[in-house]
Amino acid sequence: MAQDHLAASSPLPEHARLAAFAGEWDGEEMVFPSRWTAGGPATSRVVARMDLNGFYLIQDGVQMRDGKQVFATHGLFTYDRDDRTYKLFWYDSLGYTPPSPASGGWVGKTLTLVRGSLRGNARHVYEIIDDNSYSLKIQFSPDAEGWADVLTGVYRRIH
C-alpha cells in the first residue's frame, strides 16, 4: 500500500501558543529616530490569523503617522520542530529581503526572536500582557550586543 507523502502531522502545542497573537489589534507605537525614519508617535492596525492547518501565524500590519500610511509589514511565525525554536519570516515596506528568519523562543510570557543580516541584527520582543493586549519592542544592533530601540508599541485587541 502506498504511503500518503502529503499527509501532514498535527501542529504541536508550540504552534498553538502563537494563537495568542491571532486577531485584530490597534497599536499605539513610538518610533525612534534611525537611519530609516524620523522618530515620533504612530498607530498601527495589525491583523493576524492561524493558518495552513495551524502551523503558522500570518500577520499583516499597517503603520500610520500624521494620517498617512508610512510602513507595512508581513510576518510569518512558526515553530520549527527540527531545531525546536520559533521562527519569524519578516517582510516590510523597506524592501529588504532577510537572508534567514529570526529565531528564538519563549521565556514566560515573552517571545524573543533575533535575526542577523549584512546591515546588522534585529530583535523582536513580544510580551503578552493579558488576553487582550501585548507589547512589541523591535531593536537594532550592529554587533548583537548593544541593542537600541527602533520601535515600541502596545497593541489592544479589537472586539
Mean pLDDT over each residue of the chain, to the nearest integer: 92
Rounded to two decimals, the pTM is 0.90
Has residue 3 got a pLDDT over 60?
A: no
Cα dist from 95 to 7, 13, 107, 119, whole Å: 35, 33, 31, 13
Q: Give 153's pLDDT tier (boundaries 50, 70, 90).
A: very high
| Burial (CB count <10 Å: 0-12, 13-18, 19+), residue 127 | middle
Domains of the chain: 13-157 (2.40.128.20)
DSSP 27-81: EEEEEPP-SS---EEEEEEEEEEEETTTTEEEEEEEEEETTEEEEEEEEEEEEET
Q: What is the pLDDT of residues 121-144, one digit of tens each?
A: 899 999 999 999 999 999 999 887
Q: Look at residue 10 and give its three-state secondary structure.
A: coil
- pLDDT-derived band at 116 (thresholds 50, 70, 90) equals confident
